[in-house]
């Protein structure tokens, strides 16, 4: 059998109107693909027909051949004859993509000077002989689907023998129109550097978007290499589908080596590109060469740019052993009960001496205390210490009860170390609150170890002192009104003194809550009037004095 070199291929012509409708042209022409050899799977839309040639017309056009009206080009196949007298065939296909199923399929017709068969997506639609084949029945929208589609034509040369047989030809005519729009397009595939993200935006504004990974906005963000697709719904409810592939550029890790320790005065050198795979370098030192050399302690990083314009960053640290200061155990710290802290004083080629005599670079702390280590090596000696405290309770102290002066406000509370949660009886959750009403205020706290603490404070409204000092009491051991006090409220200073008519001091105190039992040196005093003087600082810390009399009655 001769090898067929006749050509077929698909022409897809898109005409975009104001609503971005499009037309897919199935007319015969040089955009079809053709092969004279049968290949398994050629009826499948995803078949790779890259090795098939494009259809062409012969040099010697047979003008008498029957061509489908309206078709400019025909796909010509020269006759083939086998030595056994059997028929030969040619295989033609046109593959295209539909982005919606809202389509209208115009009648498809085919003419030939011999036998033919038409298939859509692997399903036989019709067949015929010669130009009498006319229209192809059943070629409608239900034969197509969103995504890849293929129309296949088999041309069969059934004429046996040789002489006088003219060229074998096929011609076809057909069209698919989108009935809605606009046509979706996600653009070209995206290339991203490893670890980066890329944005893909649908070219038109639709009513709704559903991406294959669950995103629902017009613009989607992707960071993983994969093929993604979007289904968008237009105002007519038609689904539009397109795909985009995210391709990741692999990056080559930077080989800076291990962190480095040096003695004071020495130099450490880092090489970001020993294999010469990058094209640009930028060090934190400002260097733009492959290597950088440093002689001080710090964390150093480099950003390199590879051939794909991808940037990769890596860092290393340099420790400098300076006699007396090279060891760093960290800041003093507070830990929870049951926790532990492991200290590491390691420095290459060193000896260690902890405060308890331990001689290891690692030291485990489980109790409150101050810990010190001495590190000795060929560079010299260094010492450092750390204080560690373990907490098992949280202490809350709102202070003593206080008095509220007129038109004043009180700020209660304050930041308590290690406390993570504050809860006031007012509903506030801040470390401090401001109050302007008398009452009892409670604070509950929880520290980061889970310990709970609580305190309360009473804010008392200032009373008129003249109305808060009783003028009589009866210390007659009947359990009623046995003692006397002033009930004066003070911010700080307080002094009370009671005297008789001869100015003898009978009772004296600096405690505003102290009570007088009507006795002097343990003996009851007689019925009568006694003079008192009370001094205090009121709620604005202004000194106040009141004098008066109190009666002892029996």
Give 266-296 as a 3 state SS string. CCEEEECCCCCCCCEEEECCCCCCCEEEECC
- The pLDDT assigned to 322 comes to 78
Q: Rounded CA gap, 547 and 111, in Å?
A: 130
Residue 69, token pair as written in the block: 């009206």
DSSP 32: B
Query: What DSSP element (H or E) covers 103?
Result: strand 103-105
Residue 65, token pair as written in the block: 């051949």
The label of the residue with tokens 């993570």 reads 420
Contact yes or no for 273/279 (Cβ under 8 A): no
Longest dimension (CA), the chain: 162
Q: Rounded CA gap, 232 and 240, in Å?
A: 5
- The pLDDT assigned to 397 comes to 92
One-character DSSP codes across 13-73: -----TT---EEE---SBTBEEESS--TTTTSTT---TTSEEP---SS--TTS---TT-S-
- The pLDDT assigned to 306 comes to 92
Q: Rounded CA gap, 244 and 188, in Å?
A: 7
Q: Where are the alpha helices (DSSP H) in 304-351?
A: none
Q: Cα angle vertex 237, ends 236, 241, to 5°?
A: 115
Strand order of the β-sheet with 175-178 is 23-25, 175-178, 103-105
- The pLDDT assigned to 4 comes to 28
Q: What is the pLDDT along the chain (554 residues), one digit of tens a residue?
A: 233 222 222 222 233 333 344 688 888 878 899 887 888 999 999 999 999 988 876 433 444 444 445 444 455 444 433 444 445 677 889 999 999 999 999 888 887 767 788 999 999 988 877 654 455 656 778 899 999 999 998 887 655 444 434 345 677 888 899 999 899 999 999 999 988 999 999 999 999 999 999 999 999 999 999 999 999 999 999 999 999 999 999 888 888 888 888 888 889 999 999 888 899 999 999 999 999 999 998 999 999 999 999 999 999 999 888 776 778 899 999 888 888 999 998 888 889 999 999 999 999 999 999 999 999 988 889 899 999 988 888 889 998 887 777 667 778 999 988 899 999 999 999 999 999 888 899 999 998 888 999 999 988 776 666 667 899 999 998 889 999 998 887 778 899 999 998 999 999 999 988 999 999 999 999 999 999 999 988 767 778 899 999 999 98
One-character DSSP codes across 500-528: -TT--EEEEES-TT--B-SEETTEEPPSE
The label of the residue with tokens 């509950």 reads 444
Residue 171's DSSP bridge partners are 111
- The pLDDT assigned to 109 comes to 83
- The pLDDT assigned to 135 comes to 53
Q: Cα angle vertex 174, ends 169, 179, to 5°?
A: 170
- The pLDDT assigned to 163 comes to 41
Q: Rounded CA gap, 301 and 129, in Å?
A: 76
Contact yes or no for 405/349 (Cβ under 8 A): no
Residue 422's DSSP bridge partners are 445
- The pLDDT assigned to 428 comes to 94
Q: Rounded CA gap, 6 and 151, in Å?
A: 18
Q: Of 312, 213, 326, 184, whose CA–CA distance to 265 is shortest? A: 326
Cα-flanking dihedrals φ and ψ of residue 13, to 5°?
Answer: -110, 120
Contact yes or no for 178/21 (Cβ under 8 A): yes
User: What domains are there in the chain, each with its CATH number?
Assistant: 23-178 (2.60.120), 190-249 (2.60.40.10), 260-321 (2.60.40.10), 333-390 (2.60.40.10), 402-461 (no CATH), 465-552 (2.60.40)
Cα-flanking dihedrals φ and ψ of residue 361, to 5°?
Answer: -70, -25
Q: Of 220, 249, 246, 223, whose CA–CA distance to 232 is shortest? A: 220
Is there a cis peptide before residue 182, judged by omega within 30 degrees of 0?
yes
Q: Rounded CA gap, 414 and 428, in Å?
A: 13
**Sign (positive/negative) of CA torsion 485, 490, 492, 495?**
negative
Cα-flanking dihedrals φ and ψ of residue 284, to 5°?
Answer: -65, -15
DSSP 400: S
Is there a cis peptide before residue 54, judged by omega within 30 degrees of 0?
no
- The pLDDT assigned to 543 comes to 86
Q: Rounded CA gap, 186 and 531, in Å?
A: 99
- The pLDDT assigned to 202 comes to 96
Q: Where are the alpha helices (DSSP H) in 4-124?
A: none
């Amino acid at each position: 059998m001769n090898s067929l070199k006749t050509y077929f291929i698909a022409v897809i012509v898109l005409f975009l109107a104001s609503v971005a409708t499009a037309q897919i042209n199935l007319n015969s022409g040089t955009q079809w693909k053709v092969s004279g050899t049968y290949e398994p799977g050629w009826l499948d839309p995803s078949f790779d027909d890259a090795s098939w040639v494009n259809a062409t017309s012969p040099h010697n056009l047979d003008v008498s051949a029957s061509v489908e009206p309206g078709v400019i080009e025909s796909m010509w196949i020269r006759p083939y004859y086998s030595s056994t007298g059997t028929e030969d065939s040619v295989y033609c296909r046109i593959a295209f993509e539909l982005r919606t199923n809202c389509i209208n399929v115009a009648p498809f017709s085919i003419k030939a000077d011999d036998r033919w068969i038409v298939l859509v997506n692997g399903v036989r639609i019709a067949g015929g002989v010669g130009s009498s084949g006319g229209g192809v029945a059943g070629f409608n929208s239900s034969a197509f689907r969103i995504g890849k589609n293929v129309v296949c034509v088999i041309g069969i040369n059934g004429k046996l023998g040789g002489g006088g047989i003219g060229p074998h030809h096929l011609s076809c005519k057909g069209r698919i129109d989108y009935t809605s729009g606009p046509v979706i397009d996600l653009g070209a595939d995206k290339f991203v550097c490893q670890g980066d993200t890329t944005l893909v935006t649908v070219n038109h504004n639709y009513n709704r978007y559903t991406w294959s990974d669950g995103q629902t906005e017009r613009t989607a963000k992707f960071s993983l290499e994969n093929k993604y697709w979007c289904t968008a719904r237009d105002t007519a409810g038609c689904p539009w589908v397109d795909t985009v592939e995210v391709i990741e550029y692999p990056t080559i890790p930077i080989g800076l080596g291990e962190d480095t320790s040096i003695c004071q005065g020495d130099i450490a050198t880092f090489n970001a590109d020993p294999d010469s795979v990058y094209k640009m370098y930028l060090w934190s030192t400002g260097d733009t060469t492959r290597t950088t050399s440093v002689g001080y302690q710090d964390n150093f990083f480099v950003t390199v740019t590879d051939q794909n314009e991808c940037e990769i960053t890596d860092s290393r640290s340099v420790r400098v052993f300076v006699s007396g200061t090279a060891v760093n155990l960290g800041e003093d710290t507070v830990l929870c009960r049951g926790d532990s802290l492991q200290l590491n004083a390691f420095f290459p080629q060193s000896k260690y001496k902890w405060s308890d005599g331990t001689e290891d670079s690692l030291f485990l702390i489980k109790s409150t205390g101050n810990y010190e280590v001495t590190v000795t090596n060929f560079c010299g000696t260094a010492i450092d210490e750390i204080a560690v405290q373990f907490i098992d309770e949280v202490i809350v102290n709102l202070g003593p009860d206080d008095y509220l002066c007129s038109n004043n406000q009180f700020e209660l509370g304050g930041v308590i170390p290690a406390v993570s949660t504050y809860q006031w009886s007012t509903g506030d959750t801040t470390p401090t609150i401001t109050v302007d009403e008398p009452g009892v205020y409670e604070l509950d706290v929880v520290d980061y170890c889970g310990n709970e603490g609580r305190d309360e404070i009473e804010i008392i409204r200032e009373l008129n002192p003249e109305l808060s000092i009783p003028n009589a009491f009866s210390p007659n051991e009947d359990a009623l009104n046995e003692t006397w006090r002033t009930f004066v409220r003070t911010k700080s200073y307080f002094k009370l003194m009671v005297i008789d008519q001869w100015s003898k001091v009978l009772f004296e105190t600096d405690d505003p809550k102290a009570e007088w039992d009507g006795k002097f040196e343990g003996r009851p005093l007689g019925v009568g009037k006694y003079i008192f003087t009370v001094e205090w600082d009121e709620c604005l810390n202004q000194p106040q004095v009141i004098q008066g009399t109190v009666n002892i009655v029996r």
